[in-house]
Chain A
Amino acid sequence: MAADVAWAERWVRETARSIAEHKDELTELDRQIGDGDHGENMNRGFTAVVAKLDALPEPPAHVSDVLKLVATTLMSTVGGAAGPLYGTAFLRASKLADLPELDGRGVVAVLEGALEGVQARGKATVGEKTMVDALSPAVQAAVRAADAGGDARAVFAAAAEAAQAGAEGTIPLLATKGRASYLGERSIGHEDPGAASTALVLAAGVAASESEDVTAASEPEP
């Protein structure tokens, strides 16, 4: 399977659904080590993204169009640090996705762009209990999957799985970036909400590719 614009749109809608479903969890994680608004903020952002998708006069042509719409909307609606961080991630990703569809290598490039964007904004590195702790292992897993010849779905699935493990891996970490760093040692023992939402976003991309499978199954592979 290649990741085309229809997949990208499903990805975004699935993300919105998943974020809404996990809104309270994210907020609870953020309440432990932040200011307790991450679930609310992300839900507001992705709800706005879906509303904008629905209002488009014609369907987006490229994956990059979808990702750029996500970037601009999240920037304007999420607020705090998460808005610029997610906004920049999707913006950098969109610049690398100006194609009708992405193969496995294309997915790697998009994820690398997202990681680069988050790091450019947040100046965080691995191990500081941030989004980077989900996104960085995701990129590494994506590279390995692509090297092994994986298609877009396989690469994205590998990335999502690594992101989930990375997010869970933030639990024992000491936060040294962002608001949670104010808590020092008390940040230990809690999952980072930004890493958790990153894992949700990537998992939604896999769910989007699986839902396509159902329709694609009836069509012969070229």
Chain B
Amino acid sequence: MTDPATAPRTPTALVLVSHADELARGTARLAGQMAPAVLIEAAGGLPDGGLGTDFDRVQDALGRALATADGVVVLADLGSAILTVESVVEFLDPDDAARVHLATAPFVEGAVAAAVSANGGAPADAVLRVAEDAGRSFAPTPSPGPPPAAPPTAGGGEAGPGAPGAATAGAEVLRRTVTIRNPLGLHARPAAELARTASGFDAEVTVGGVEAASVLELMALGATGGQEVEVTARGPEADAALDAVTGAIEGGFGEA
């Protein structure tokens, strides 16, 4: 265990690895404000200020965290950030490597949730679980009720909030099942494209049971190539929304 005389920090430290220095440092600041006792190391961007992840920077941050904490939870944003973290861990002594836990978690929410948990003195494996559970904040609610009466952003001139016409149109749920065409499925870029498509219509759209307008919910689905998903839409522009969203999925997001 940590000797309080030499290490006044909590047993678990965090390392935030992002392609962007600003994102890593900003997230560390945000999480740090909620968890002042936790050592939170930011390791983002390249030494020349560019976007990317730098092996040495991540190694240094992890080294500082391992020097003061019993365990370290790492959050990484995308693709090669994860490869870089895994590579740094591979270079560690096995004893140190065993103290590092790479979370599969949303970067900001995971960092904040993990930091708050660590601040309470939780060990690394518990902090890891909290970070990974943060993804569930985007999970679909078990039985989504009627959509909140949010004013439509487009085409809402006539059917204002609570207008009877909108309520009638919203009652009918259109459904269509489509197959994900692109091999990697709904990873970041296609998910973002789908969310943009879905949010362009005055309609409530779901894909695989989650809110299609939410990039995080779509990514959390983990839908892979070849998988079938049901798309639903309701609202004044349900028809057009259903066509656009199913079209985007079946078109492989312009990648295929």
A-B interaction = yes
Interface residue? B199 (CB, 8 A): no
Q: Is the Cβ of B252 less than 8 Å from the Cβ of A80?
A: no
Cβ contact of A85, chosen from B56, B83, B181, B225, cutoff 8 A? B83
Question: Please, how many residues of chain A have a CB less than 8 angstroms from a CB on the other chain?
Answer: 24
Q: Is B189 an interface residue (CB 8 A)?
A: yes
**Chain B contacts for A64, CB-based, 8 A:** none
Cβ-closest chain A residue relative to B255: A184
Q: Which residues of A contact B53 (CB under 8 A)?
A: 79
Partner of A83, one of B84, B181, B182, B256: B84
* Structural contact, A87 and B80, CB atoms closer than 8 A: no
Distance, CA A185 to CA B181, complexed state (A) = 11
Main secondary structure of the interface of A (DSSP, over half): helix
The smallest C-beta distance from A65 to any residue of chain B, in angstroms, reads 15
Q: Determine the distance from Cα of A174 to Cα of B182 in the docked complex, in whole angstroms.
A: 11
B255 to chain A: which residues have CB within 8 Å? 181-184, 186
Q: How many A-B residue pairs have CB under 8 A?
A: 60
Instruction: Determine whether B54 belongs to the interface, using a CB cutoff of 8 Å to chain A.
Output: yes
A-B contact pairs, 10 of them (CB 8 A): A79-B52, A83-B55, A87-B87, A88-B86, A91-B90, A121-B86, A174-B183, A183-B255, A185-B252, A185-B256
What 5 pairs across the A-B complex have the smallest Cβ distances? A184-B256, A184-B255, A84-B83, A176-B183, A84-B87
- New A-B pairs, 20, CB < 8 Å, besides A88-B87, A181-B182, A186-B255: A72-B91, A75-B87, A75-B91, A76-B54, A76-B55, A79-B52, A79-B53, A80-B80, A83-B55, A84-B83, A88-B90, A120-B86, A176-B184, A176-B225, A181-B255, A183-B255, A184-B183, A184-B252, A185-B252, A185-B256
Interface residues of A (CB under 8 A from B): 72, 75-76, 79-81, 83-85, 87-88, 91, 120-122, 174, 176-177, 181-186
